[in-house]
């Protein structure tokens, strides 16, 4: 259980969209993490909850998914509800129906809409016209559900956020954006090392710095992976070529080679560091097998926590 006191009413988040972590206060994030921790503990004890009995979740997927689809679908089932998998081939949106029309129609059928797409603008438009909560399951800019699972995993392993240094090495992508913002929201120090030309979006970085000012967190941005990893408590990486960038694979291999998380790089971290990766992973590229499969890796605990944080989100926002 998290040792943080929050002043959140259980009904405060009902009907609220979950588009980015920026939209949630630190107290609201702590509340979701606490609820996820409680749900995880109760599941391990064999306890069940029907808090979403009779509720339905529409899940729109415009790209491939393993952890996101399974965790949301199983999460709804475990909470007593029902999830519908919707691909562009199944929806008229795939044939040009306006997003606004799709949002208004689905709002009359389901109690929440989860969407995984390449365009963050699509998610924002869907939320604009939807009368039920919209949950961002991944866009080109943000991956907030993953960041919550990351934070829960870090707390489980380290027992606190304060005083820990989280280091992200690799592509300045959607995972990096949400991770840095989430870490700043809970008061954790962050360092990010990316190759030149592959940095995080500057507007999002500036927003993260604003969050850090209010929580006392520090954020360091660099192109030097060794500088970033020095004295790290947590090391995180992601694939070098995310979905949509596969055509750049060869160029990215050249640019990202010095950013591989391997035994030499992690030797600069603290002896009890933990390793995180959102998966899927390419062993031998962004991380070597001895690291991701080694004693410091908690990537499968992290993957499991996607289920628990998403159950917390669903239970909190669905009316």
Q: Identify any residues that bridge with 59 across adjacent strands, giving them in sequence order.
A: 85, 114
Residue 35, marked binder: no
Burial 271-296, CB ≥16 within 10 A → b, else e = eebbbbbbbebeeebbbbeebbeeeb
Residue 116, marked binder: yes
Of 78, 111, 140, 146, catalytic: 146
143 is catalytic: yes
Q: Of the candidates 174, 70, 55, 71, which has an alpha carbon nearest to the alpha carbon of residue 113?
A: 55
Decide: helix, strand or coil at residue 276. Answer: strand
Residue 139, marked binder: no
252 is catalytic: no
CA atoms within 13 A on the CB side of 16: 18
278 is catalytic: yes
Give Cα 67 distance to the centre of its chain.
11
116 is catalytic: yes
95 is catalytic: no
Of 116, 177, 252, 277, catalytic: 116
Q: Please, which residues have CB within 8 angstroms of residue 109's CB and are 6 or more apart in sequence?
A: 56, 58
CB 181 within 8 A of CB 204: yes
Tokens standing for 133?
């909560």
Of 189, 278, 308, 310, catalytic: 278
Residue 143, marked binder: yes
Of 177, 252, 277, 306, catalytic: 306
Burial 207-221, CB ≥16 within 10 A → b, else e = bbeebbeebebebeb
Residue 66, marked binder: yes
Residue 194, marked binder: no
Of 143, 177, 252, 277, catalytic: 143
Residue 95, marked binder: no
Cα 127 from Cα 102, distance rounded (Å):
11
Task: Measure Cα distances from 111 to 14, 20, 98, 116, 143 in Å.
Answer: 11, 20, 20, 17, 22
Using CB atoms within 10 Å of the CB of residue 115, give its burial: 0 to 12 exposed, 13 to 18 middle, 19+ buried: buried
Of 17, 111, 238, 277, catalytic: 238
Residue 290, marked binder: no
Residue 117, marked binder: no
Residue 282, marked binder: no
Cα torsion 141, 176, 307, 124 to 10°: value is -20
Residue 260, marked binder: no
Residue 108, marked binder: no
Residue 174, marked binder: yes
Tokens standing for 250?
């060869």
Q: Indicate the annotated binding residues for L-ornithine.
A: 174, 238, 242-243
Q: Indicate the annotated binding residues for carbamoyl phosphate.
A: 65-68, 92, 116, 143-146, 278-279, 306
Q: Indicate the annotated binding residues.
A: 65-68, 92, 116, 143-146, 174, 238, 242-243, 278-279, 306
Tell me the catalytic residues. Answer: 116, 143, 146, 238, 278, 306
């Amino acid at each position: 259980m998290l040792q943080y006191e929050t002043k959140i009413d259980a009904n405060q988040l009902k009907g609220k969209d979950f588009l980015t972590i920026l939209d949630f206060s630190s107290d609201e994030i702590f509340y979701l993490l606490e609820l996820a921790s409680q749900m995880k503990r109760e599941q391990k004890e064999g306890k069940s909850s029907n808090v979403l009995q009779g509720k339905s979740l529409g899940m729109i997927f415009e790209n491939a998914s393993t952890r996101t689809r399974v965790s949301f679908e199983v999460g709804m089932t475990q909470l007593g509800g029902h999830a519908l998998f919707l691909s562009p081939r199944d929806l008229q949106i795939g044939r040009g129906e306006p997003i606004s029309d799709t949002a208004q129609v689905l709002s009359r059928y389901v109690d929440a809409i989860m969407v995984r797409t390449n365009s963050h603008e699509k998610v924002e438009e869907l939320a604009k016209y939807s009368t039920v909560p919209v949950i961002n399951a991944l866009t080109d800019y943000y991956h907030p559900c993953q960041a919550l699972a990351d934070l829960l995993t870090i707390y489980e392993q380290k027992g606190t956020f304060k005083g820990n240094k989280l280091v992200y090495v690799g592509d300045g992508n959607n995972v990096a954006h949400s991770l840095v913002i989430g870490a700043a929201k809970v008061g954790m120090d962050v360092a990010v090392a990316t190759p030149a030309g592959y940095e995080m979006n500057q507007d999002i970085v500036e927003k993260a710095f604003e969050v850090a000012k209010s929580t006392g967190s520090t954020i360091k941005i660099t192109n030097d992976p060794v500088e970033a990893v020095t004295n790290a408590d947590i090391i995180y990486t992601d694939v070098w070529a995310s979905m949509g960038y596969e055509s750049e694979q060869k160029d990215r291999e050249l640019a990202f080679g010095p950013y591989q998380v391997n035994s030499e790089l992690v030797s600069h971290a603290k002896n009890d560091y933990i390793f995180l990766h959102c998966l899927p992973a390419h062993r031998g590229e962004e991380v070597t097998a001895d690291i991701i499969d080694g004693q410091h890796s908690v990537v499968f605990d992290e993957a499991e926590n996607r289920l628990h944080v998403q159950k917390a989100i669903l239970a909190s926002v669905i009316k």
